[in-house]
């Protein structure tokens, strides 16, 4: 287990803010163009969740999930003036709320190897008789190429 450092706490706080932003945008936009609005918002939840998990593992994913689910639940409630962002009778609101939970759980259940990028050693230098790097340059800028006609001095005719 990794030690809890200031850097990890900072990354978790950034992931929490990212989760709140994604949850807020998703709650506001999931009904925009039905059904594509909710599909785009769930894709946003998945993409940001993958980023959060790949960034620093479980601490950032948990903070991100708390941000998404917390902001979604908070905005699902009735506002002070009686306004609602997710009417109770519309199924698309339930698709958004439950879909966000399922997507976050799906990112959490994904195998660890999808998020780990181990360092790869560079291959050793190959020794060869030639000191010219591969690929060899074909021609210098301004040089006559293989397909260009060569004009001799005094030759005024061009092919």
Q: What is the pLDDT of residues 61-102, one digit of tens each?
A: 999 999 999 999 999 888 888 778 777 778 999 999 999 999
pLDDT in the model for residue 149: 58
User: Which residues have C-beta within 8 Å of that of residue 30, sequence separation ≥ 6?
Assistant: 37, 38, 41, 92, 93, 95, 96
Total domain count, the chain: 1
The whole model's pTM is what? 0.71
Identify whether 125 is part of a domain. no
Identify whether 141 is part of a domain. no
pLDDT in the model for residue 13: 96
Identify whether 73 is part of a domain. yes
Distances (CA, A) of 15 to 49, 76, 106, 110, 150: 9, 21, 17, 18, 65
Identify whether 146 is part of a domain. no
Identify whether 47 is part of a domain. yes
Domain that holds residue 97: 12-114
Query: Considering only CA atoms, which of 50, 78, 36 is closest in space to residue 19?
Result: 50
Asked if residue 119 has pLDDT above 90, the reply is no
Identify whether 152 is part of a domain. no
Residue 102 corresponds to which tokens in the numbers above?
């399922």
Identify whether 19 is part of a domain. yes
């Amino acid at each position: 287990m990794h030690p809890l450092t200031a850097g990890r706490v900072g990354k978790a706080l950034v992931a929490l803010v990212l989760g709140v932003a994604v949850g807020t945008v998703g709650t506001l936009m999931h009904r925009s163009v039905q059904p594509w609005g909710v599909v785009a918002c769930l894709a946003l939840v998945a993409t940001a969740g993958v980023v959060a998990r790949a960034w620093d593992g479980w601490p950032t994913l948990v903070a991100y999930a708390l941000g998404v689910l917390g902001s979604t639940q908070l905005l699902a409630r009735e506002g002070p003036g009686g306004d609602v962002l997710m009417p109770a009778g519309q199924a698309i609101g339930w698709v958004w709320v439950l879909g966000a939970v399922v997507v976050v759980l799906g990112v959490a259940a994904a195998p660890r190897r999808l998020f780990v990028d181990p360092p790869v050693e560079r291959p050793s230098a190959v020794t060869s008789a030639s000191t010219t790097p591969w690929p060899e340059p074909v021609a210098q800028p301004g040089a006559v190429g293989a397909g260009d006609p060569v004009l001799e001095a005094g030759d005024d005719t061009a092919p």
